[in-house]
Structure 1
């Protein structure tokens, strides 16, 4: 049985890494993928470990702390320390070391293995992790599906009328060629008959988050969400008079932009359960909450076409490099 090893930072994993590891997987009988991890890395080791294990479920994926060890790409490499560190985590000595960087030859020599160079010129997959971190949208096609949620720009829409929010989310997603996340619960009526009393608001948020994360993998650079957990905290206060602490914690999720829709007197909100003037109160509370957490937001008002145009302009500013290429 032949054993192989790939060592990398995977900051983040990209199509070049996938090609490298798939190549190695098909060369040897048993492959170990080692993730080099340091505390100062811009992406946590646990996140990279989860990504790589999802991408390569049939290979052994482990991480190696490099806090006191120089990476082979650093000169001069601490050969003895690196060898000892690798031998502690490797179950068997590799027969082959695969790499798309020149340091692979030194690494193979340290371990007494044969070096196999894979696309060092990056002719097969012209991308690097540095390029992706610098401008992920310019290299979106090279980011694996499971990694994309970490880079996708998330836009939420807050409105007293969920029907209108959903319509705007759908319209924006269609114009941008991406995914949108409907309001998971619809309205409090969907959860608890004709009364918001007794609604499990935490369950509402967990359902919304689950839907959002499932759809984020297939979004094209931007994900449009018809609501977000912060809106649920406001509704909980308005309709139930209180909000669980857990809900406040869930509402701290990252959104790159929020579109705050003012009430439209021409829209039909008969299906929404809230007291008289609660729509105006909802928007005011949302604005205060957004300012309190320091989240970027844009107030969207006017007629439907005006709202849609203003919202689209605001969202397009989140992906300038992508928009610039479209206009060429």
Structure 2
């Protein structure tokens, strides 16, 4: 059993191979320091990668994740660059209470030289990537194909989330389904994220009718607890979809639930606020305009006279909370084209991983790169 082990890497992004390496080190050492080395030239900040790994290993007290900014050039042939790199690592360890290490765990050939620099033993772990055939390069080259191999905390935050919201009978469900179908050839694992509040309404009304067979829709009594359940379940459905696909298109979310709570219970009632507060990062809200859309009463809707007010609430809330949002107007085809244009642009940006200018010359990656 080693006393202090070290694992280094970019973890750009962190994947199952990285997790296997860290877990292997943790099984053989009392303490493992994982150095996350991130450059300013990379499009995912080192602080984010550090948080994802912290969450992944939150149950292992012997693993500490240390984020370290590293803009030093990479050159395996240069003794001077090797010293510059190792000194960054030494100081990262020192400032976190680690004076010395006795083992370096890696899946790379450079690990032996790194171990010499720290007067430690090198333990080579699965250099052929046979246990987890994935690498950072593969993830960056094809994020969609590599998605299942990326660690869960990273998937939840790296996922592109498009949320469709709007007042009653403004085409939100139709648009969300159309967009999901449009992107399915590119993202085969994309899942529909329907409005849970509608299903909850059906169930709530059925329960009321079981006791009061003549009850009508307007006889239902809504509570803050109801909206808390809806908001939490909506979050869960959205996150489940993000876990399986790098693109989520959701028909409403917990933030919208707070507005429906306001609609039914009044200005000061926010029982679903806790669910909305836990929302992951959103890339874009698509707000369907009520103007030009005929109200269709399917027997469950009762807000035709308040559609304008609800649309304004959405505009105000999304603006006040700093979200990116677009008001979709015009016929269904125009709305669809507007949505696709901006979603394509977001995906192009989100799926592009920038690298330091010297990365094409040599790459200093962690194990299972």
**What TM-score does the superposition give when structure 2 sets the normalisation length?**
0.64
CA–CA distance in 2 between the matches of 1:291 and 1:211?
25
CA–CA distance in 2 between the matches of 1:218 and 1:77?
38
Q: State the match for 1:141 in structure 2.
A: 145
Contact 1:99 1:116 in 2 (8 A): yes
Provide Cα deviations, 1:158-178, integer angstroms capped at 9, x if missing partner: 122379423322221121122
2:105 is aligned with 1:97: yes
Residue 295 of structure 1 and its aligned partner are, at CA, apart by 1.5
Q: State the match for 2:355 in structure 1.
A: none
Q: State the match for 2:340 in structure 1.
A: 312
CA–CA distance in 1 between the matches of 2:300 and 2:197?
12
Unpaired runs of 5+ residues, structure 1, are none
Determine which of 31, 48, 55 is the counterpart of 1:50: 55
2:202 is aligned with 1:190: yes
CA–CA distance in 1 between the matches of 2:295 and 2:141?
36
Unpaired runs of 5+ residues, structure 2, are 39-44, 73-80, 185-189, 206-216, 353-369
Q: Helix, strand or coil for the counterpart of 2:164?
A: strand
Flag the 1:84–1:294 CA change in 2: closer, same or farther, 3 A: closer
Q: State the match for 1:203 in structure 2.
A: 229
Contact 1:137 1:322 in 2 (8 A): no
Contact 2:262 2:268 in 1 (8 A): yes
Residue 190 of structure 1 and its aligned partner are, at CA, apart by 3.1
Give me the CA root mean square deviation. 4.6
Q: Helix, strand or coil for the counterpart of 1:224?
A: strand
**What TM-score does the superposition give when structure 1 sets the normalisation length?**
0.71
Contact 1:161 1:269 in 2 (8 A): no
Q: State the match for 1:155 in structure 2.
A: 162
Q: Between the two structures, name the one with larger relative contact order (CA 8 Å, sep ≥ 6).
A: 2
Q: Helix, strand or coil for the counterpart of 2:327?
A: strand
Residue 48 of structure 1 and its aligned partner are, at CA, apart by 1.0
Contact 2:163 2:252 in 1 (8 A): yes
Determine which of 260, 269, 273 is the counterpart of 2:287: 260
Q: State the match for 2:311 in structure 1.
A: 283
Flag the 1:87–1:273 CA change in 2: closer, same or farther, 3 A: same
Flag the 1:38–1:112 CA change in 2: closer, same or farther, 3 A: closer
Contact 1:73 1:103 in 2 (8 A): no
CA–CA distance in 2 between the matches of 1:309 and 1:109?
57
Provide Cα deviations, 1:249-281, integer angstroms capped at 9, x if missing partner: 543533211111123644523344434412222
2:255 is aligned with 1:225: no
CA–CA distance in 1 between the matches of 2:99 and 2:297?
61
Q: Between Structure 1 and Structure 2, how many residues are aligned?
A: 307
Residue 137 of structure 1 and its aligned partner are, at CA, apart by 7.6
Q: Helix, strand or coil for the counterpart of 2:346?
A: coil
